[in-house]
Amino acid sequence: MSETVLSLKEAAIYQKDNLVLSDVTLNINKGEFIYLIGKTGAGKSSFMKTLYADLPLKEGDGSIVGYNLATLKNKEIPHLRRKLGVVFQDFKLLSDRTIFNNLEFVLKATGWKNKAEMKMRIDEVLTKVGMNSKGFKFPHELSGGEQQRIAIARALLNDPELIIADEPTGNLDPQTSIEVMGILREINQNGNTILMATHDYALILKYPSKTLKLQDGKIFEVVQKKV
Protein backbone atom coordinates (compact mmCIF):
# COMPACT_ATOMS: atom_id res chain seq x y z
CA MET A 1 0.00 0.00 0.00
CA SER A 2 1.37 3.45 -0.84
CA GLU A 3 2.25 5.66 2.08
CA THR A 4 1.22 9.33 1.93
CA VAL A 5 4.01 11.81 2.66
CA LEU A 6 2.08 14.98 1.89
CA SER A 7 -1.63 15.58 1.65
CA LEU A 8 -3.37 18.93 1.18
CA LYS A 9 -7.10 19.41 1.04
CA GLU A 10 -8.72 22.64 -0.10
CA ALA A 11 -5.70 24.51 1.19
CA ALA A 12 -5.08 28.19 0.52
CA ILE A 13 -1.56 29.61 0.32
CA TYR A 14 -1.07 33.18 1.51
CA GLN A 15 1.78 35.68 1.53
CA LYS A 16 0.69 37.79 4.51
CA ASP A 17 -2.90 38.75 3.56
CA ASN A 18 -2.45 38.12 -0.17
CA LEU A 19 -4.01 34.96 -1.47
CA VAL A 20 -1.46 33.26 -3.77
CA LEU A 21 -3.14 29.87 -4.39
CA SER A 22 -6.55 28.52 -3.52
CA ASP A 23 -8.27 25.17 -3.48
CA VAL A 24 -5.03 23.20 -3.39
CA THR A 25 -5.81 19.51 -3.08
CA LEU A 26 -3.09 16.96 -3.68
CA ASN A 27 -1.38 13.84 -2.41
CA ILE A 28 2.25 12.85 -2.66
CA ASN A 29 3.17 9.25 -1.94
CA LYS A 30 6.42 7.86 -0.65
CA GLY A 31 8.92 7.32 -3.47
CA GLU A 32 7.41 9.79 -5.97
CA PHE A 33 9.44 12.38 -7.91
CA ILE A 34 7.27 15.39 -8.60
CA TYR A 35 8.00 18.56 -10.53
CA LEU A 36 6.34 21.84 -9.65
CA ILE A 37 6.21 24.34 -12.49
CA GLY A 38 4.66 27.75 -13.09
CA LYS A 39 5.66 31.21 -14.27
CA THR A 40 7.64 33.61 -12.10
CA GLY A 41 5.34 34.79 -9.34
CA ALA A 42 2.91 31.88 -9.79
CA GLY A 43 3.56 30.82 -6.20
CA LYS A 44 6.08 27.96 -6.29
CA SER A 45 8.21 29.32 -3.46
CA SER A 46 5.16 30.33 -1.40
CA PHE A 47 3.77 26.82 -1.81
CA MET A 48 7.03 25.23 -0.70
CA LYS A 49 7.46 27.64 2.20
CA THR A 50 4.04 26.60 3.46
CA LEU A 51 5.20 22.98 3.38
CA TYR A 52 8.21 23.63 5.60
CA ALA A 53 6.20 25.98 7.80
CA ASP A 54 7.94 29.20 6.83
CA LEU A 55 4.43 30.43 5.96
CA PRO A 56 1.43 29.34 8.04
CA LEU A 57 -1.38 27.26 6.55
CA LYS A 58 -4.33 29.51 7.34
CA GLU A 59 -7.06 27.75 5.36
CA GLY A 60 -7.77 24.12 4.54
CA ASP A 61 -6.11 20.93 5.71
CA GLY A 62 -2.54 19.85 5.31
CA SER A 63 -0.56 16.95 6.60
CA ILE A 64 3.13 16.48 5.88
CA VAL A 65 5.39 13.67 7.14
CA GLY A 66 2.96 13.12 9.99
CA TYR A 67 2.52 16.77 11.05
CA ASN A 68 -0.71 18.73 10.75
CA LEU A 69 0.17 22.05 9.09
CA ALA A 70 -3.06 23.75 10.12
CA THR A 71 -2.52 23.17 13.84
CA LEU A 72 1.29 23.11 13.92
CA LYS A 73 2.78 24.85 16.97
CA ASN A 74 5.93 26.97 16.72
CA LYS A 75 7.83 24.58 18.93
CA GLU A 76 7.04 21.70 16.56
CA ILE A 77 8.56 23.44 13.53
CA PRO A 78 12.17 22.25 14.17
CA HIS A 79 10.86 18.67 14.53
CA LEU A 80 8.99 18.94 11.22
CA ARG A 81 12.07 20.36 9.48
CA ARG A 82 14.18 17.49 10.74
CA LYS A 83 11.99 15.16 8.68
CA LEU A 84 12.32 17.33 5.57
CA GLY A 85 15.37 18.10 3.47
CA VAL A 86 15.23 21.51 1.84
CA VAL A 87 17.44 22.52 -1.10
CA PHE A 88 17.53 26.10 -2.42
CA GLN A 89 18.56 27.69 -5.70
CA ASP A 90 21.37 29.65 -4.00
CA PHE A 91 22.73 26.70 -1.96
CA LYS A 92 22.77 28.60 1.38
CA LEU A 93 26.02 27.10 2.66
CA LEU A 94 27.76 28.89 5.55
CA SER A 95 30.73 30.66 3.96
CA ASP A 96 32.85 30.92 7.12
CA ARG A 97 33.42 27.19 7.59
CA THR A 98 34.46 24.09 5.69
CA ILE A 99 32.06 21.68 4.02
CA PHE A 100 32.60 19.18 6.84
CA ASN A 101 31.84 21.87 9.42
CA ASN A 102 28.76 23.02 7.49
CA LEU A 103 27.37 19.50 7.75
CA GLU A 104 28.51 19.00 11.34
CA PHE A 105 26.78 22.26 12.26
CA VAL A 106 23.45 20.87 11.02
CA LEU A 107 23.92 17.57 12.86
CA LYS A 108 24.76 19.34 16.13
CA ALA A 109 21.78 21.66 15.70
CA THR A 110 19.53 18.64 15.26
CA GLY A 111 20.69 16.86 18.39
CA TRP A 112 23.62 14.68 17.30
CA LYS A 113 26.35 14.43 19.97
CA ASN A 114 28.72 11.56 19.17
CA LYS A 115 31.73 12.80 17.12
CA ALA A 116 32.45 9.43 15.48
CA GLU A 117 28.79 8.94 14.49
CA MET A 118 28.67 12.47 13.06
CA LYS A 119 31.81 11.87 11.02
CA MET A 120 30.43 8.59 9.69
CA ARG A 121 27.14 10.20 8.66
CA ILE A 122 28.90 13.12 6.96
CA ASP A 123 31.13 10.69 5.03
CA GLU A 124 28.03 8.73 3.99
CA VAL A 125 26.11 11.72 2.60
CA LEU A 126 29.18 13.21 0.89
CA THR A 127 29.80 9.84 -0.77
CA LYS A 128 26.17 9.77 -1.98
CA VAL A 129 26.71 13.01 -3.88
CA GLY A 130 30.22 12.12 -5.08
CA MET A 131 31.93 14.74 -2.90
CA ASN A 132 33.67 12.63 -0.28
CA SER A 133 37.09 14.16 -0.97
CA LYS A 134 35.89 17.78 -0.58
CA GLY A 135 35.06 17.95 3.13
CA PHE A 136 38.07 20.14 3.96
CA LYS A 137 37.21 22.80 1.35
CA PHE A 138 35.38 26.06 1.96
CA PRO A 139 32.21 26.76 -0.07
CA HIS A 140 33.90 29.49 -2.15
CA GLU A 141 36.50 26.93 -3.26
CA LEU A 142 33.80 24.86 -4.98
CA SER A 143 31.92 25.37 -8.26
CA GLY A 144 28.18 26.08 -8.23
CA GLY A 145 27.40 22.48 -9.15
CA GLU A 146 29.64 21.19 -6.37
CA GLN A 147 28.06 23.55 -3.84
CA GLN A 148 24.64 22.30 -4.86
CA ARG A 149 25.79 18.70 -4.37
CA ILE A 150 26.90 19.67 -0.85
CA ALA A 151 23.51 21.31 -0.24
CA ILE A 152 21.85 18.05 -1.32
CA ALA A 153 24.16 16.10 1.01
CA ARG A 154 23.15 18.46 3.83
CA ALA A 155 19.48 17.84 3.05
CA LEU A 156 20.09 14.09 3.34
CA LEU A 157 21.79 14.21 6.76
CA ASN A 158 18.76 13.31 8.84
CA ASP A 159 17.35 10.83 6.33
CA PRO A 160 14.35 13.02 5.41
CA GLU A 161 10.96 11.63 4.49
CA LEU A 162 10.54 14.32 1.83
CA ILE A 163 13.06 16.46 -0.03
CA ILE A 164 11.79 19.86 -1.12
CA ALA A 165 13.99 21.45 -3.76
CA ASP A 166 13.21 25.02 -4.83
CA GLU A 167 14.77 25.49 -8.28
CA PRO A 168 17.91 23.53 -7.38
CA THR A 169 19.35 23.95 -10.89
CA GLY A 170 18.32 27.60 -11.26
CA ASN A 171 21.89 28.92 -10.89
CA LEU A 172 23.63 26.19 -12.87
CA ASP A 173 24.62 25.79 -16.51
CA PRO A 174 22.80 23.10 -18.56
CA GLN A 175 25.49 20.42 -18.22
CA THR A 176 25.87 20.94 -14.45
CA SER A 177 22.07 20.97 -14.12
CA ILE A 178 21.95 17.51 -15.67
CA GLU A 179 24.61 16.28 -13.23
CA VAL A 180 22.76 17.65 -10.21
CA MET A 181 19.53 16.22 -11.58
CA GLY A 182 21.30 12.85 -11.89
CA ILE A 183 22.08 12.97 -8.17
CA LEU A 184 18.48 13.83 -7.28
CA ARG A 185 17.17 11.00 -9.48
CA GLU A 186 19.59 8.54 -7.90
CA ILE A 187 18.46 9.60 -4.44
CA ASN A 188 14.87 9.15 -5.57
CA GLN A 189 15.62 5.68 -6.94
CA ASN A 190 17.03 4.79 -3.52
CA GLY A 191 13.61 5.53 -2.03
CA ASN A 192 13.56 9.25 -1.16
CA THR A 193 10.51 11.28 -2.14
CA ILE A 194 11.30 14.51 -3.99
CA LEU A 195 9.26 17.60 -4.80
CA MET A 196 11.21 19.91 -7.09
CA ALA A 197 10.23 23.35 -8.37
CA THR A 198 11.83 24.18 -11.68
CA HIS A 199 11.74 26.51 -14.67
CA ASP A 200 13.85 24.10 -16.66
CA TYR A 201 11.57 22.43 -19.20
CA ALA A 202 14.55 20.77 -20.90
CA LEU A 203 15.11 18.77 -17.71
CA ILE A 204 11.46 17.73 -17.55
CA LEU A 205 11.57 16.59 -21.18
CA LYS A 206 14.77 14.64 -20.54
CA TYR A 207 13.51 13.05 -17.32
CA PRO A 208 9.70 12.99 -17.45
CA SER A 209 7.86 12.58 -14.15
CA LYS A 210 4.58 13.63 -12.58
CA THR A 211 4.27 17.40 -12.96
CA LEU A 212 2.12 19.86 -11.05
CA LYS A 213 1.51 23.29 -12.55
CA LEU A 214 0.63 26.50 -10.76
CA GLN A 215 -1.41 28.90 -12.86
CA ASP A 216 -3.93 31.66 -12.13
CA GLY A 217 -3.94 30.88 -8.43
CA LYS A 218 -4.66 27.17 -8.85
CA ILE A 219 -2.70 23.94 -8.98
CA PHE A 220 -3.30 21.11 -11.43
CA GLU A 221 -1.54 18.04 -12.73
CA VAL A 222 -0.10 18.32 -16.23
CA VAL A 223 -1.16 15.42 -18.40
CA GLN A 224 1.95 13.99 -20.05
CA LYS A 225 1.67 13.57 -23.79
CA LYS A 226 2.95 10.27 -25.11
CA VAL A 227 5.34 10.72 -28.06
Ligand X SMILES: Nc1ncnc2c1ncn2[C@@H]1O[C@H](COP(=O)(O)OP(=O)(O)OP(=O)(O)O)[C@@H](O)[C@H]1O
Name the site residues for ligand X (rule: CB under 6 A).
15-16, 18, 20, 38, 40-46
Give min distance, CB of 45 to ligand X, in A.
3
Residue 41 or 78: the one with the smaller Cβ distance to ligand X is 41
Residue 38 or 135: the one with the smaller Cβ distance to ligand X is 38
Give min distance, CB of 182 to ligand X, in A.
23
Residue 152: how many other CB atoms lie within 10 Å: 23
Residue 41 or 208: the one with the smaller Cβ distance to ligand X is 41
Give min distance, CB of 123 to ligand X, in A.
34
Give min distance, CB of 51 to ligand X, in A.
12
Contact 10, 47 (CB under 8 A): no
Give min distance, CB of 130 to ligand X, in A.
28
DSSP 147-197: HHHHHHHHHHTT--SEEEEESTTTTS-HHHHHHHHHHHHHHHHTT--EEEE
Residue 111 CB burial class (10 angstroms; 0-12, 13-18, ≥19): exposed
Among the listed residues 67, 93, 42, the one whose alpha carbon sits nearest the alpha carbon of residue 197: 42
Residue 151 or 157: the one with the smaller Cβ distance to ligand X is 151
Residue 103 CB burial class (10 angstroms; 0-12, 13-18, ≥19): buried
Residue 150 or 197: the one with the smaller Cβ distance to ligand X is 197
